[in-house]
Amino acid sequence: MSSIETPAPDEGRRTTVFLSYARADRTRAEKLASALTDAGLEVWWDALIEGGAAFAHSIRSALDTADVVIVAWSKTSIDSDWVRDEAAVGRERKRLVPLSLDGSEPPLGFRQYHVIDVSRSRGKPSAEEVAAILRAVAASTGEPVASFPTGQGQVSRRDVVWIGSGLAAAIAAGAGVLAWRGGLLGGKAADDSIVVLPFRNLGGDPAQAYLSDGLTEAVRAALARNAALKVVAGTSSNAAQEDAEDATAIARKLGVAYLLEGSVQRSNDIVRISTNLTDGDTGFSRWSNTVDRALTDIFAVQTEIARTVARALSVQMATDEPAPGGTTSVPAYEAYLQGRALFNAALDEASDRQALTDYERAIAVDPNFALAHAGRSRSLAAIAAEYAKAEELPGLYAAAIAAAQRAIELAPDLAEGHLALGYALFTGRLDVAGARPAYERAYALGRGDADIVLLYALYCSRSGRREDARVAIQRALALDPLNPRTFRAAGSIDYAARRYRPAIAVLEKALALNPEISNAHGLIGNCLYFLGRPREARSAYAAEPHDLFHLSGLAIADHRLGNTAAARRSMARLVSELGDSALYQQAEVLAQWGETDAAMAALHRAREVGDSGLIYLTTDPMLDPLRRRPDFVKLLQDMHLA
């Protein structure tokens, strides 16, 4: 897969450009935008936002969907982190056209590009200057700008609004690796967007909740298989329902056009399923239905509901075939749903091991239940990564790989199976290259599944593929905009790319959604540390609930602050309390202390025991003191990470 996918311009549309500038240069930027628009370009900048509209409710897409990034350098903008970040995106995509508003040279890192000087024009750019910009845009896109119609009233087919640096600075997160898409975060909702709210369990027995939860997920998954629909993920659907009072409030919160609600009531082997499709703008019902089915027919009902909803939205289902990897056994399906509910809850080791038992119970009933094999693989890998002792790791990961391979053998087009295989190979065997085909296949099959897209984004980031990571995490945020895990992942990706300020902003969003989420405080501490603010970093580390990141962070920050004794105490606890499971974090501490020989010894020991922290080797800023060492380079080469 290419790291940059730039589709050829649609016939009949204009080239879109994103204009990056500093707020102090707004008057010049406005005249520039007007001149470029008159010349036939479609210019997106922050003036396009409706007056008084909230920032998050006005963004329509992400920076990578613009054809070209035009950056207006000036004495002000060269000092703007946001303009630099936006320019870096254009540079990485090889779609950067730099201008100079006042004769200033670009900052270091951007001087290899020819700069078009527009400083001589005090007002609107001259025809000669505009022509130079058009030639640069054409050279960047490989398409002659003149070939695009420029008639009055034309509107691009792209459903995007790009935000300039001034307003982005106010929000902070917009200039980082991601830009939030308004179509699923409020504002004008796309007609093809829908949220499936959790079906209510009307039976009165909490033990039967897994059935309504399972039906919700099955219908959501069936709709997500349809490329014509944008389906909000489960975590955000649940959160929106809990926080909002009515259908229109939920629709506004998520920026969707339609809501599907339902209820499930079980009586012995008969299930009554009621569904209602609501227009999110008016709050009126568009379609409703109630059916009674034998429990053995539950599988057909899922597809039936999805097909009926698609018809009501005037879109054709991609396929009427059931999703791959399922079962026709009700007991197997019930066991699988119970296991998945526990796995998703991620409460503790006992619940994770019970989830594994439930998956194995489903497989015992139906050995050909591919989804259960994939679930078993994910459970085994999670237990290995979070709870197992070093000597248990090889056996657990081997079993996880075998379970994923069995899932793929049974259902070659099962996205969850390929994802499980990639995850086990990457975290268990630290096989970056070997995991890539599985991750790519999972992403190709499961682009409508936020969990798959999120894990793919993290894989790309940790294997050094920044552009692919950025594109994928934008999609995950659009599909799951109220999930704190998604924002934590976005912050992690920004941090790995050394975009520390934007990372802090999105990590704070993760904490706002879930104050208890682990490693958000730790990552904020890392960002503050590299911004030269060790005292603030220490406060963030102190608030981190996970000892792995709490203790290593304190050891690093206290050492920088000169509190050597306190740093040594935290390091001693890291070693004594977490042992070999924290070898990678020990290496990070030692690298930042300047004890590079000891740091390398810890990394070699981490490789011997299979510490999954090594997946961060390629991008981890904490290990930068080691990167010029020949033994570190050799370690990367031996692990196929170089």
* DSSP codes joined into one string, 373-436: HHHHHHHHHHHHHHT--GGGHHHHHHHHHHHHHHHHHH-TT-HHHHHHHHHHHHHHS--HHHHH
> Pairing state of beta strands 190-196 and 230-231?
parallel
Strand boundaries in 64-124, DSSP class E:
68-73, 96-100, 116-117
Integer CA distances (angstroms), 530 to 77, 488, 500, 509, 625, in order: 22, 18, 8, 20, 13
Closest by CA position to 618, among listed 384, 424, 432: 432
Rounded Cα–Cα distance for residues 143 and 8 (Å): 8
Rounded Cα–Cα distance for residues 519 and 543 (Å): 10
CB-based contacts of 426, cutoff 8 Å, min separation 6:
432, 435, 439, 459, 462, 615
Closest by CA position to 580, among listed 538, 543, 614, 542: 614
Rounded Cα–Cα distance for residues 498 and 492 (Å): 10
Look up tokens 């798959």; give the residue.
452
Rounded Cα–Cα distance for residues 487 and 450 (Å): 12
Name the region of 226 (left: φ>0; alpha: ψ -120 to 50; beta: rest). Answer: beta
Residue 9 has pLDDT above 70, yes or no: no
Q: Using alpha carbons only, give the angle 580, 586, 588 rounded to the nearest 5 degrees.
A: 140
At 62, is the pLDDT very low, low, confident or very high (cuts 50, 70, 90)? Answer: very low
Are 109 and 132 in contact by the 8 Å Cβ rule? The answer is no
Instruction: Give me the pLDDT at residue 223, please.
Output: 77
313: tokens are 């939205």
Q: Which of 473-487, 490-504, 534-548 has the lowest mean pLDDT?
A: 473-487
Residue 162 or 216, more confident? 216
| pLDDT tens digits, 557-609 | 999 999 999 999 999 999 999 888 899 999 999 999 999 999 999 999 998 88
Integer CA distances (angstroms), 310 to 177, 224, 316, 427, in order: 33, 11, 6, 38
Residue 284 has pLDDT above 50, yes or no: yes
Please give the full DSSP string across 549-567, using - where no structure is assigned: HHHHHHHHHHHHTT-HHHH
| pLDDT tens digits, 290-313 | 877 777 666 667 667 777 776 666
Closest by CA position to 166, among listed 157, 174, 154: 174
Residue 115 or 527, more confident? 527
Instruction: Give me the pLDDT at residue 389, please.
Output: 77
| pLDDT tens digits, 76-93 | 888 887 788 788 888 877
Residue 262 has pLDDT above 50, yes or no: yes
Instruction: Give me the pLDDT at residue 280, please.
Output: 81
Rounded Cα–Cα distance for residues 510 and 485 (Å): 7
Residue 482 or 498, more confident? 498
Are 233 and 174 in contact by the 8 Å Cβ rule? The answer is no
Rounded Cα–Cα distance for residues 226 and 230 (Å): 8
Residue 146 has pLDDT above 70, yes or no: no
Instruction: Give me the pLDDT at residue 142, please.
Output: 67
Sign of CA dihedral 540, 546, 549, 553: positive
Q: Which of 182-186, 333-337, 588-592 has the lowest mean pLDDT?
A: 182-186
Closest by CA position to 400, among listed 356, 339, 451: 356
Helical ranges in 480-546 per DSSP H: 484-496, 500-513, 520-530, 534-543
At 183, is the pLDDT very low, low, confident or very high (cuts 50, 70, 90)? Answer: very low
Q: Mean of the pLDDT values across residues 402-430?
A: 93
At 473, is the pLDDT very low, low, confident or very high (cuts 50, 70, 90)? Answer: very high
Candidate ranges 348-357, 432-441, 540-549, 560-569; pick with highest mean pLDDT: 560-569
Encoded amino acid at 550, one letter? H
Instruction: Give me the pLDDT at residue 63, please.
Output: 60
At 184, is the pLDDT very low, low, confident or very high (cuts 50, 70, 90)? Answer: very low
Integer CA distances (angstroms), 362 to 111, 336, 499, 638, in order: 60, 6, 44, 40
| pLDDT tens digits, 234-253 | 777 777 767 656 777 888 77
Residue 593 or 47, more confident? 593
Residue 617 or 109, more confident? 617
Residue 66 has pLDDT above 80, yes or no: no
Instruction: Give me the pLDDT at residue 144, please.
Output: 54
Residue 469 or 15, more confident? 469
Rounded Cα–Cα distance for residues 635 and 642 (Å): 9
Tell me what percent of the residues of the chain surpass a pLDDT of 70. 79
Are 397 and 428 in contact by the 8 Å Cβ rule? The answer is yes
Q: Which of 139-143, 183-187, 561-565, 622-626 has the lowest mean pLDDT?
A: 183-187
The widest CA-to-CA distance across the chain, in whole angstroms, is: 82
Are 418 and 411 in contact by the 8 Å Cβ rule? The answer is no
Are 458 and 475 in contact by the 8 Å Cβ rule? The answer is no
83: tokens are 């303009």
Instruction: Give me the pLDDT at residue 345, please.
Output: 65
Q: Tell me the average pLDDT of the chain.
A: 79
Q: Which of 51-60, 224-233, 362-371, 415-424 has the lowest mean pLDDT?
A: 51-60
At 160, is the pLDDT very low, low, confident or very high (cuts 50, 70, 90)? Answer: very low
- Other beta carbons within 10 Å of 437: 13
89: tokens are 């995106």
Please give the full DSSP string across 173-218, using - where no structure is assigned: GGGSS----GGGSSSSPEEEEEEEPPPEETTS-GGGHHHHHHHHHH
- For 562, counting Cβ atoms within 10 Å of its Cβ (0-12 exposed, 13-18 middle, 19+ buried), the class is exposed
Is the overall model pTM greater than 0.95, yes or no? no
